[in-house]
Structure 1
């Protein structure tokens, strides 16, 4: 892993969005100096961190000139511009469009569903928002249907979400499976295409960062 110099430092910690950025960097073969933010002790709500990100969320990329980039995909795009190979946002117009499409689909259909279950049912989020347990249960019932939708979408036999090449869309969707395992919303059994795709993603060295 090659340490990037003059590319800032990454404030990150436990959580799916920090995990997305770590996997992305591992796929690029790069790393950044890191500042671990302890969510369990509320470090993300302290004034010094809120000066970096007023939303109190990680990850945050603090650049050497004092600029700040938040949101995991925005950070990944910045890193992709610095290190274009491999092209995890796609190579060429068609592939870039497909990767963007599938990353958005993964975020809306999968990440959003499982994220809502966590936000509206787990005690760790009780002080962040008004929780609606009934909404969490509605989303819990919907989660298997979302994965079944992906199973149907991959019926053409492609190895990765956007086609033949691994991309940021695969990172987003696979991290949802990790999040679901943590919050008791696993990928349902008997989805052989999804299962094979997940195995391809989880067998990559970047998954264990």
Structure 2
């Protein structure tokens, strides 16, 4: 297998943290998305028709794209330690929080990135500042929601660290570092969780 990636970008980073948590080693090839190598005809034609990373090349030459799809595939091959839950209730909770983070945090952060960052101005046909501002408000509101959740639970889906936490961490770091959207340090429960998950060796290395 081989992983096409761009370390530091939020979606590939999810896979890298997952691999580190599982102790899985996979060779990787860096695709420079800043130079738009992911949009080259060769990459789109041979690796990922969506022109995005990460993408996993299997031993038979076929490819799986999308972060969670890649991690699900690897989870089937290497089930322990589980990053998607073990008992039925835990599996459901992890899936619920994954969807919530992707829909209500990752998506608005992406809209801020698309419509509010000078780095995306060259590739977005028309940036709409009001869209960026509306989504900034949505992100801050969701941080409040997460703070309330983490007052009740050590991790997002329950007592165990999971793929939901990995996804939330990568999204929050992307929001803070490239979009100027850090969480409020006064959100003590979210801050406690953030310090714990960002302090894990898997997160520090990626």
- Shorter-chain TM range is over 0.9
Deviation at 1:142, TM superposition (A): 2.1
SS of alignment partner, residue 50 of structure 1: helix
Deviation at 1:123, TM superposition (A): 3.2
Q: TM-score, normalised by structure 2?
A: 0.93
Task: Give the distance between the partners of 1:146 and 1:197, measured in 2 at CA.
Answer: 15
2:113 to 104, 111, 118: 118
Q: What residue in structure 1 maps to residue 198 of structure 2?
A: 202
Q: What residue in structure 1 maps to residue 90 of structure 2?
A: 95
Task: Give the distance between the partners of 2:116 and 2:126, measured in 1 at CA.
Answer: 10
Q: What residue in structure 2 maps to residue 36 of structure 1?
A: 30
Which contiguous aligned blocks of 4+ residues in structure 1 show a shift greater than 6 angstroms? none
1:57-109 Cα distance to aligned partner (Å, 9 max, x none) = 11011112121100000000011111111110000111000000011111111
Any conservation in 1 of the 2:21–2:202 contact (CA below 8 Å)? yes
Q: TM-score, normalised by structure 1?
A: 0.92
Structure 1: give runs of 5+ residues left out of the alignment: 1-7
1:181 to 160, 176, 184: 176
- The Cα RMSD (Å) is 1.2
Deviation at 1:129, TM superposition (A): 5.0
Deviation at 1:128, TM superposition (A): 4.6
Q: Report the count of equivalent residues.
A: 201
Deviation at 1:18, TM superposition (A): 0.4
Structure 2: give runs of 5+ residues left out of the alignment: none
Q: What residue in structure 1 maps to residue 39 of structure 2?
A: 45
Task: Give the distance between the partners of 1:166 and 1:70, measured in 2 at CA.
Answer: 24
1:25-46 Cα distance to aligned partner (Å, 9 max, x none) = 0000112110000011110111
1:163 lines up with 2:162 in the alignment: no
Task: Give the distance between the partners of 1:98 and 1:190, measured in 2 at CA.
Answer: 27
Q: What residue in structure 2 maps to residue 65 of structure 1?
A: 60
